[in-house]
Structure 1
Amino acid sequence: MGDPASIGPEITVKALSRKELYDKCRPLVIGDARIMDMALQELGRNDISVHKVTSPHEGLYRQGVIDVLDMGLVDADKLELSKVSSMAGTAAFGYVKKVIELAMKKEIDATVTNALNKEAINLAGYHFSGHTEIYAEYTGTKKYTMMLAHHNLRVVHVSTHVSLREACDRVKKERVLEVIRIADEACRSMGIEKPRIAVAGLNPHCGEGGLFGREEIEEITPAIRAAEAEGIHVQGPVPPDTVFSKARGGWYDIVVAMYHDQGHIPLKMAGFVYNSEAQKWDAVEGVNITLGLPIIRTSVDHGTAFDQVGKGSANELSLINAIEYAIGFALNSNIQNRMI
């Protein structure tokens, strides 16, 4: 459900009001039933009801009913929408931890997360920089990375939630090679038989032969050569100011970015479309996927959007994209006799 004070409950209602999703999967919300009821009321959706369950097997899984595994972590009378609070942080963290437990026990096939507020979960005493790190901790995963996807544009990252100075220090051969391998495996999991991988440079013009930095020479290129020796179809380093346009044009199936903003900015330029005349978002698309985990995790590619809470205008496209990606990963994993 995401942070209960965020747009998470609203876009969950909007996404799960679509019949086509129930034709593809059995969606279960992990959260607070009363908060979901409030979202239904705000949107005027009297045609939809909330069904509280205590386990996935109790769900009805039909359009017009939103099945909620009720955690009871929020006092709705005290919750302030659009505000950072330890109560909301505790709840958001609890939802994530629970959905990880269900997936690790194989009671569900895939997990999809709405946004949480990093300040709120840290205020609640859970010192993580985001979903990715929570998933890594509670699945015991050491080698993982974030992938962003918008249609045919896919990006994975050598580093994410660290300072830019530290991100540069993390560009090492071993880590770049590790992310190339994860990218190759992820594409194959999506049904791409022979993935074409591009590796972005770190420095302008890929360092211009060492004039603007030596990371390409000493770390990135050796990683690319090692990956080629393993039979991976990889090219680079490619100048970061052109590699994403090439990928969007179909040259590559996925791009290895060196740090958070290098990968996030082009994805959000492609997926986030603001209509200045109507003063609203026409599209907020894109998916955040954690690769390298023993379970499937996809997520919206946006934050809690406290400025939009309660207005009924929050865009659900990114959540729908995330659900569809989760379904695709689950189907490609040949998972049988369990529920998404």
Structure 2
Amino acid sequence: MSPADAPVLALTCGEPAGIGPELAVMLADDGVIPARVVAVGDPALLAERAAMIGREVRVLELDRDEPPPAARQGVLPVWPVTLRAASRPGELDTANADHVLETLDVALAACRTGQAAGMVTAPLHKGVILEAGHAGFTGHTEYLRDACGVDEVVMMLATDSALHAREANWQGNAALRVALATTHLPLREVADAITGTRLKRLLHILHADLRRWFGVEQPRIAVCGLNPHAGEGGHLGREEIDVIVPALAALRAEGLTLDGPLPADTLFTPRHLEGVDAVLAMYHDQGLPVLKYAGFGRAANITLGLPLVRTSVDHGTALDLAGTGRADLGSLRVAVALAAEMARRA
């Protein structure tokens, strides 16, 4: 594929006080990009951050409807979204919450009109957006779900050790994929949120999108139990018996290949993961600590169930690193590679 034929990806720059803007600059300076990446953010901020971290990157401002040129090292095309207030590294400002949300809306519009084949998101700061008056905001995943008008999405993170080195040529075969039955919920609310209906919807999406975006013809999915030891036959909780087991049985009858419910403390071992295409964890901190231990900085967040491609990094805004040039580009490389691979399958 020639550089001019590579898929176009809209990269939202996230929280302006965090590392998102400089990650966009570093990516443009990286020289190994399997897509035509267009940053969505403030061109002046990006140029300022490039100078601050000592990167000789030319910020190329485009019109909102202007397609990007072929990817060139040292050039960062930008669809502009102006900051609401001046931004300094590490200093949060609620005045820029609407700027962050507008970058998402611009990227979404580009995907809908076909200007972009997918979107990649740098980290935002949920607290700032909530404090700015956007009550109920819980993150990128739910915002994109509502903006796309779909009932359900699945958050899945994937590691890919092959993407860690440039020699890998950006081939995107994930070594470990972990999807979540619940995302950003207080722990005391998790059990009530896990219903048979919800599990069936989520597993249908996970099964379908493993086939659609990752080319897995007959996905094998391992499902965690909710309770320690997957409930120990009802002695440590009945959610497995009353909710999870019946849901999995109904899905197996439809032809899905499912293992479980399995105790999470033993599921994440080589023997149980052999031949498994994805794991469904019941809550955020059941599955993601394992995945991040296995590949932090070499993993990406993927939103399944959307009518478009969306990936993101596996980390937060890293306010303490903003403006230092010491941010790790690894996760963004993986997110871009996976989005490009998914876009080619669309």
Cα deviation, 1:63-88, whole Å, max 9, x if unaligned, reads 1210011111244xx32321221123
User: What is the CA–CA distance in structure 2 between the aligned matches of 1:247 and 1:194, rounded to whole Å?
Assistant: 20
- Structure 2 residue aligned with 1:19: 31
Q: Tell me if structure 2 keeps the 8 A contact 1:74–1:87.
A: yes
Deviation at 1:60, TM superposition (A): 2.4
Find the aligned partners of 2:121 and 2:271 in 1 and give their Cα distance: 26
Please give the per-residue CA displacement for 1:131-188, whole angstroms capped at 9, x wherever unaligned. 0111011111111110111121101111111111111111111111111111111211
TM-score (norm 1): 0.90
User: Residues 208 and 149 (structure 1 numbering): CA distance in 2 closer, same or farther, change over 3 Å?
Assistant: same
Matches within 5 A, 1:127-276: 127=135, 128-151=137-160, 152-189=175-212, 190-246=214-270, 249-272=273-296
Alpha-carbon distance in 1 for matches of 2:323, 2:83: 20
Do the aligned residues in 1 keep the contact of 2:29 with 2:55 (CA within 8 Å)? Answer: no
1:50–1:157 CA distance, 2 compared to 1 (3 A): same
Deviations 1:272-323 (A, max 9, x none): 2xxxxxxxxxxx2211111111111100011000011121110011111001
Question: Could you tell me which residue of structure 2 aligns to residue 28 of structure 1?
Answer: 38
**Which SS does the other structure have where 1:27 is aligned?**
strand
Q: Percent identity?
A: 38
The RMSD of aligned alpha carbons is 1.5
Instruction: Give unmatched runs, 5+ long, in structure 2.
Output: 1-12, 161-174
Show structure 1 runs of 5+ residues with no match: 273-283, 334-340
Greater CA drift, 186-195 or 208-217: 186-195
Q: Contact 2:83–2:99 at 8 Å: present in 1 too?
A: yes
How far residue 245 of structure 1 moved from its aligned partner, in angstroms, is 2.2
Counterpart of 1:278? none
Counterpart residue number, 2:8:
none
Output the amino acid matched with 1:146.
Answer: M
| Cα distance in structure 2, aligned partners of 1:12 and 1:155 | 26
Question: TM-score w.r.t. structure 2 length?
Answer: 0.88
Shift of residue 56 of structure 1?
4.9
How far off is 1:43 after superposition?
A: 2.1
2 CA distance for matches of 1:14 and 1:56? Answer: 24
Give yes or no for contact 1:28–1:56 (8 Å, CA) kept in 2. Answer: no
Query: How many residues are matched?
Result: 317
Deviates more, 1:90-99 or 1:300-309: 90-99
Q: Post-superposition shift, 1:249?
A: 4.7
Amino acid at match of 1:325: L
User: In the alignment, what sits opposite 2:169?
Assistant: none
Kindly state the Cα deviation for residue 247 of structure 1 after the two structures are TM-superposed: 7.7
What is aligned with 2:48? 38
Q: Distance in 1 between matches of 2:309 and 2:259?
A: 28
User: Aligned equivalents of 1:56 and 1:286: distance in 2?
Assistant: 31
Shift of 1:204: 0.7
Could you list the per-position Cα deviations for residues 210-262 of structure 1 after superposition, in whole angstroms to 9, with x for gaps in the alignment? 00000000100111111111111111011111112248853311001101111
Contact kept, 8 Å, 1:153 with 1:248, in 2: the verdict is no
Structure 1 match to 2:59:
50
